[in-house]
Amino acid sequence: MPPVPALENSTVLITGATDGLGRRVAHDLAARGATVLVHGRSRERGEDTVRSIAEETGNERVSLVLADLGSLAQVSDLAERAAGRRRGGLSVRSAPAA
């Protein structure tokens, strides 16, 4: 198996990242050096997730982006905010679209 590349020059947006698979993917990518945008709907859960991932991985480039994916206006706003923070190229979708 080829070595797993470092991701210091990549920014990833993980939807549904406050729980389950999304949280695990966000954690693993942060551990590999990526800048991670943690998506969630709840500020409290999102802030807890960001704090936990940053502490566990030592990566301070983890931040929260709030949006309800059931709202087209919020999805559009989320896309604009994420595009403004983009470095490198990698995308992961972990939560089903509404």
Does 23 have pLDDT greater than 70?
yes
Residue recorded with tokens 């190229």: 89
The predicted pLDDT at position 91 comes to 53
Rounded to an integer, what distance in angstroms lies between the CA atom of residue 26 and that of residue 31?
A: 9
DSSP conformational letter for 3: P
Does 89 have pLDDT greater than 70?
no
- Nearest Cα neighbor of 12 from 97, 69, 96, 94 is 94
Query: What is the Cα 63 distance to its own chain's centre?
Result: 7
The predicted pLDDT at position 97 comes to 52
Residue 52 C-beta-side C-alpha neighbours within 13 Å: 15
8 A C-beta contact, residue 53 and residue 45: no
Reported as a single tens digit per residue, the pLDDT across 39-88 is 999 999 999 999 999 999 999 999 999 999 999 999 999 888 888 776 65
